[in-house]
Structure 1
Amino acid sequence: MKRRNFLHLAGASAALAFFHGHASAAPIGNNRKAHAITGTWFEFQHHSEVEGTYWNPALAAFTADDWEAKVAEIAGTGIRYLVLLDVAIYGKSFYPSALLPQHALTDNDPLETVLSAADKHHLRVFMSNGFFGDWRNPALLMQDKDVHQLRVRAMEELTEKYGHHPSFYGWYYPNETGINGHFDDNFIQYVNKCAREARRLTPRAKTLIAPYGTRNVAADDGYVAQLDRLDVDFIAYQDEIGVQKTRVDESNAIFEKLQRLHRKSGRNELWADVEVFAFEGEVYRSALVPAAPERVLAQLEALAELVEQVFIYQYTGMINRPGSSVTIGYRGQHDLYTALTEAGWLKRR
């Protein structure tokens, strides 16, 4: 599954100095192996209407109070990082923007709401810088000069509007092309162009990508050289279990290979993006539902000794605390919460 420069207010400088100091801190759990879920993606609307069947309407109706309650719920599990998948899609933004019209959501500025709640609960948010243009054509989005300029202007606008939040920890670059032995060179250029803008606007912010094609990584010096070239702090590889490209029993060997390559490079920290969803029917053409708890637990155990951080795609829509006032998604999400808390991957509040 595919998941995606702002600074001129004179009054923002002091707040951004605080943000920069916050972002420069070492990542939680740095230099140890992961034995807990520490991060999750979230979104205001899923890009595929059919995949988001069971949560898109609920998210569109979320009030500010609902978002605050959901962020508090997530923080209560011990998760410390939130990754916003996208700030815009289909030519509309999810926040008040001078660049694009806005999606009609109950909360007029859910991004402000989430960041404020994240400030309160000491969470760290990776801000998306996409999707500007047709997300189904990532090669175009990475190479088109007009799209890049719009992306840069959006990064500037997002920093101006939200850079004062201490929870604004870094950037997530959501455009992707699959790994086919090695990264496509256009992907590396895209990441590095984004990184230049991120450093210009938020010099100490951390950066994250989450590539797919994980099983296809070539265990050679050419791949190590590409890691050396990629100007990004964290690479959270999709385990691709949910999209049925990889079996659970293959995952450990794949991430062992990645661990060896990342150790040889030393440039980017190795994280995991664990897919906790399944498809209700045909892959990519049916609704996403929570995966069987035993499958998810096996996915997590396969990676625990190999990566620095375990992120999931995604809490919203797949996991809900029993009794939550903001339960969304398909039946089974309480079962996954219970299994993960009982196994110690999430804290029980």
Structure 2
Amino acid sequence: MKRRHFLRSCGATLLAGSLLPELRASIQYNPGKIKPITGSWFEFQHHSLVEGKYWNETLKTFSAVQWDAKVKEIADSGIRYLVLLNVAIYDKIFYPSLLLPQHDMGCEDPLGTILNAADKYGVKFFVSNDFFGDWTNPYLLMTDPGINKMRLLAMNEIAEKYAHHKSFYGWYFPNETGISGYYEDFFINYVNASSAEAAKLTPGTKTLIAPYGTRNVIADDKYAGQLEKLNVDYIAYQDEIGVEKTRVDESAGYFEQLHRIHSKASHARLWADVEIFRFEGKVYQSALLPAPAQRVIRQLEAVSPFVEEILIYQYTGLLNKPGSTAFAGPVDTEILYTELTKKGFLKSRSL
């Protein structure tokens, strides 16, 4: 079927309400058909201080031994992709650098330490190329000439220092702009400029973005054309359950729509970014806590038929193996870890 005919038939009407009853029935809870969690975001410090209330201070004190233990713990859970959220925040950087002052951490080189650990334990890292500047103003971060120059300088420095690691699988471009029907042109330019630099510095590495506004995608010719313009290998759309923009029972419809248009109009592979958190109080104004296991399982169930890989936001601070020597986050992170392990969505050598 030609793309224009396909788009006429699916278009923007392929929303959650249009999901066929047969398909709804086929994705009812069935552990054999729900994909496991194979990736997660990872961070040294959460960008929002209020959201990272229960783990930022702990992570700040982690030694190299604890960072190694945390990567091993994650690898033992069956996760094989980790996505480093940021390499810099609040005008400081997370590795020894000539560009910015370094964050005061309990480990001399957190970035080098986790890549060394990932080399040992078989994890593939997407390494961030941001946040330089005010992370709350993504438009500025993607368009300001000075910040753009700093980003490219940092990518060059990171590649020189760390690209030799076998775990350096690719790059993650964390600056986001919400999809309001379509991508903004400045976002496409930011992604493509970052991808061009990545290809020059580290040929053969992969690239990843994780946009929000998933529920707002208008799957027509214009969106298909934008997908074709985006020079990126993987797009892990946020399911937006944790931020309370989407209900779990709507999620499958949105990902079905994305699956249809990606299969026809995009070279980028379709992944999911499943939010396993809830807010302690108001959305964006309170700490993140692990969501109830049953809700998370329903989220996994919803996206499984439509995506190749399921990544979560995030292991760090929201999941801990019981007895972890690198524990960070509230106590009930152990509960969510245990429940997901018992159901087979994570693995554990001891559970």
The answer, yes or no, to whether TM exceeds 0.5 is: yes
Contact map agreement 1:239 1:246 (CA 8 A) in 2: yes
Aligned to 1:325: 325
1:21-36 map, 5 Å: 35-36=35-36
Can you list the C-alpha shifts for 1:193-240, whole angstroms capped at 9, x where unaligned? 101100110110100000000100002111111100000000000000
User: Would you say the 8 A contact 2:39–2:312 is kept in 1?
Assistant: yes
SS of alignment partner, residue 38 of structure 2: strand
Pair 1:86 & 2:86 matched: yes
Q: Report the equivalent of 2:114.
A: 114
SS at match of 2:161: helix
2:73 is the alignment partner of 1:73: yes
**2:241 & 2:207 partners in 1: Cα distance?**
24
1:151 partnered with 2:151: yes
Tell me the alpha carbon deviations over residues 146-171 of structure 1, each in whole angstroms, 9 at most, x when there is no partner.
Answer: 11111000000000110110000100
Q: State the distance in 2 between where 1:259 and 1:135 align.
A: 30
Residue pair 2:34, 2:300 contacting (<8 A) in 1 also: no
Q: Which residue does the alignment assign to 2:127?
A: 127
Q: Following superposition of structure 1 onto structure 2, how do residues 1-349 of structure 1 map, counting pairs within 5 Å? A: 35-349=35-349
TM-score with structure 2 length normalisation? 0.89
Any conservation in 1 of the 2:192–2:230 contact (CA below 8 Å)? yes
Amino acid at match of 2:195: A
Matched-pair identity in %: 61
Structure 1 unaligned regions, length at least 5: 1-32
Cα separation, 2, equivalents of 1:134 and 1:103: 16
CA distance in 2, matches of 1:231, 1:298: 32
Superposed CA offset, 1:318-345 (max 9, x none): 0111111122111211111111111111
Q: Deviations over 1:162-181 (max 9, x none)?
A: 01100001000000110000
Measure, in 1, the Cα distance between the counterparts of 2:70 and 2:204.
28
- Write the deviation string for residues 285-331 of structure 1: whole angstroms up to 9, x where unpaired: 00001001111010001111110010001001001111111221112
Q: Which runs of 5+ in 2 are unaligned?
A: 1-32
Contact 2:129 2:155 (C-alpha < 8 Å) held by counterparts: yes
CA offsets per residue over residues 42-63 of structure 1, 9 Å max, x none?
Answer: 1100011111000001100100
Q: 1:111 to 1:215 in 2, by over 3 A?
A: same
- Counterpart of 1:311 in structure 2: which amino acid? L
Matching residue's letter, 2:103: H
**Residue pair 1:290, 1:332 contacting (<8 A) in 2 also:** yes
Q: Work out the CA distance in 1 between the residues paired with 2:249 and 2:322.
A: 30
User: In the alignment, is the contact (CA less than 8 A) between 1:272 and 1:310 conserved in 2?
Assistant: yes
Tell me the CA shift for residue 348 of structure 1.
2.0
Runs of 4+ in 1 over 3 A off after TM superposition: none
After TM superposition, give the deviation of residue 82 of structure 1 in Å. Answer: 0.7
**Residues 271 and 311 of structure 1 are in contact (CA less than 8 Å); yes or no, is this contact kept in structure 2?**
yes
User: Please, which moves more after superposition, 272-281 or 261-270?
Assistant: 261-270
* SS in structure 2 at match of 1:171: strand
- The one-letter code sitting in structure 1 at the alignment partner of 2:77 is T
C-alpha contact 1:34 1:309 (8 A) present in aligned 2: no
Mapped contact 1:280–1:289 kept (Cα < 8 A): yes
Q: What is the RMSD of the two structures over their aligned residues, measured on CA atoms?
A: 0.9
CA distance in 2, matches of 1:327, 1:146: 38
On the 8 A contact 1:34/1:308 being kept in 2, the answer is no
Q: Is the 8 A contact 2:173 2:208 kept in 1?
A: yes
The structure with more radius of gyration = 2
Cα distance in 2 for partners of 1:207, 1:118 equals 18
Provide the C-alpha distance between the structure 2 equivalents of 1:307 and 1:331, rounded to a whole number of angstroms: 31
State the distance in 2 between where 1:120 and 1:159 align: 20
* 2-structure distance, mates of 1:335, 1:224: 41
Greater mean alpha carbon deviation, residues 332-341 or residues 233-242: 332-341
Number of residues paired by the alignment? 317
Does the 8 A contact of 2:51 with 2:287 survive in 1? yes
CA contact (8 A) 2:224 2:266 kept: no
Structure 1 residue 34 displacement after superposition: 7.0
Amino acid at match of 2:95: Y
